[in-house]
Amino acid sequence: MMSTSSIWRLPGVGLTIKAIERWGGLIFERPRVPELEPVTETSSLDRFVEEGVPGLWAGAACIDITPPDPEGMYVAGFGLDRICTGVRDPLYARCLVLRLGSVPFVLLSLDLIGLFANRVQRLRSLISRSHPASVWICSTHNHQSPDTLGIWGKSFAGHLPVRSGLDAGYMDFLEGQILSVVEQALEAARPARLSMAHGEFDRAGHWVHNERSQVLDRDMRVLQLDDEAGASIATVVQHACHPETLWSDNTRISADFCSVCCRQVEKRIGGTALYLNGALGAMVSAAVGDHTPLDVREGLVDRLGLQLGKAALRLVGRARRKGAQEPALDIAVTQVVMPIEDNRLYSFLHALGIIEGRDLSGGLRTEVGLARIGSVWLLGLPGEASPELGLELLARLPGDNKLLLGLANDEIGYLLPPEFFHDPAYAYEQSMSPGPMAATRIALGLERLMDLLGGFLIGKA
């Protein structure tokens, strides 16, 4: 049987896609990101920066982004045509806002499958006209959330997508909630101290495994922001695992283990917890078989989340004992262009109007981000890095305190080392990847950013 990755490499597929791209607009209704209306007022974030108060400030907040009327919506992840039948547990947008001098940083974690760059750019511009690239929007890659990419909608015979899974009403609701949670975080901002710790989680592989190889990023990293009285403002938990524990037979909205972890931390020490996913691609998931009954998986969601929460709390204690770091805040992003010819599936979905319209002339443009908070490096990647690639990129950063943030400001699929494209075991990941050049382009982008935080320098304090 021919694999999906082989189908997109057949002769004539490229010409077919180009024809659809040219004439498909006459047939298919293509979802578009709404254009921004002229804005004359200064945003709350920009006013926050203009205050010019010295020292490190931090604020955090959390807001519910569960669809108000979810039944009948398409659920993201796994196969097409998965229709929502209810809500198991709520979805959240969690926000951390930092400011040091004139440099802001907004970090958002969404319990969603992902957002494309054009949607992220709109949100960034609504949050700040002066510092849009200081806004990083990450998704946990939750496989039990509404389809916010459009890929998992109506299909023909369960395999060929024929209609976008995007719900315009939900995307408007989501935008409003994201703007609200940023406002709440800004209102809660106060002088802060930063501490950090990292440590191994699940060395034995009891909770998390790699379905393709023995390579995993076993480290958990925690950033702790406390106010001057020692109370928690925010806890950033970075770990790598696909939130797909409930698997494809679940049809209810859920935030999976990520929310369980965050609630555990918040219940114990207060503040707002953010779960950020790392090198989860190809294919890091909960250590459970594909055919495990749903009721068993239901229990695993809570147990895995609690174990992650306990590990995070231990690291919070370690971070606080180490003491506060000297404040510093640097942020930079750089554009990376992927050959669109290497991603025919993406081109096909774009041509059919399954995903939101995006300018693909000259290639698929995305970005890599690099931030420094104190002595901690944050590397933002626009997709799902395999552990092999993720660990190799982290090794290029100086020091021991470094986090990889997957699905940061875009979702272009699996980011794989070039040699994976010669291995049939990765046929599925190849079909959902920007291609064998992606790793090299991202590595070159990181080199630009590391050159004194080159690229588009947002600020340095």
Q: Is the pLDDT of residue 11 over 60?
A: no
Q: What percent of the chain has pLDDT over 70?
A: 90
pLDDT score recorded for residue 22: 54
Of 113 and 37, which is predicted with more confidence?
Answer: 113
Return the number of other C-beta atoms located less than 10 Å from residue 300's C-beta: 18
β strands within 374-437, DSSP E: 376-380, 384-385, 402-405, 414-415
Give the pTM. 0.93
Return d(Cα 32, Cα 77) in angstroms, integer. Answer: 21
Query: Using H for helix, E for strand and C for coil, what is the string for 17-48?
Result: HHHHHHHHHHCCCCCCCCCCCCCCCCCHHHHH
At residue 459 the predicted structure's pLDDT band, cuts being 50, 70 and 90, is: very low
| pLDDT tens by residue, 159-216 | 778 889 999 999 999 999 999 999 999 999 999 999 999 999 999 999 999 999 999 9
- What the block records as the tokens of 243 is 């939130």
pLDDT score recorded for residue 452: 67
369 within 8 A of 333, measured Cβ to Cβ: yes
Return d(Cα 443, Cα 445) in angstroms, integer. Answer: 5
Return d(Cα 178, Cα 184) in angstroms, integer. Answer: 10
Mean pLDDT of the chain: 90
| pLDDT tens by residue, 253-288 | 999 999 999 999 999 999 999 999 999 999 999 998
pLDDT score recorded for residue 2: 32
Alpha helix segments (H runs only) across 376-416: 387-395
Of 106 and 6, which is predicted with more confidence?
Answer: 106
Lowest mean pLDDT among 34-48, 119-133, 218-232, 295-309: 34-48
Q: Are strands 86-87 and 252-253 parallel, antiparallel or unpaired?
A: parallel
State mean pLDDT over 394-413.
Answer: 96
Q: Is the pLDDT of residue 26 over 80?
A: no
Residue 383's contacts (CB-CB under 8 Å, 6 or more residues apart) are 281, 406, 407, 410, 411, 412, 413, 414, 415, 434, 438
Three-state secondary-structure class, residue 384? strand
Q: What percent of the chain has pLDDT over 90?
A: 78
State mean pLDDT over 80-102.
Answer: 97
Q: Is the pLDDT of residue 120 over 60?
A: yes
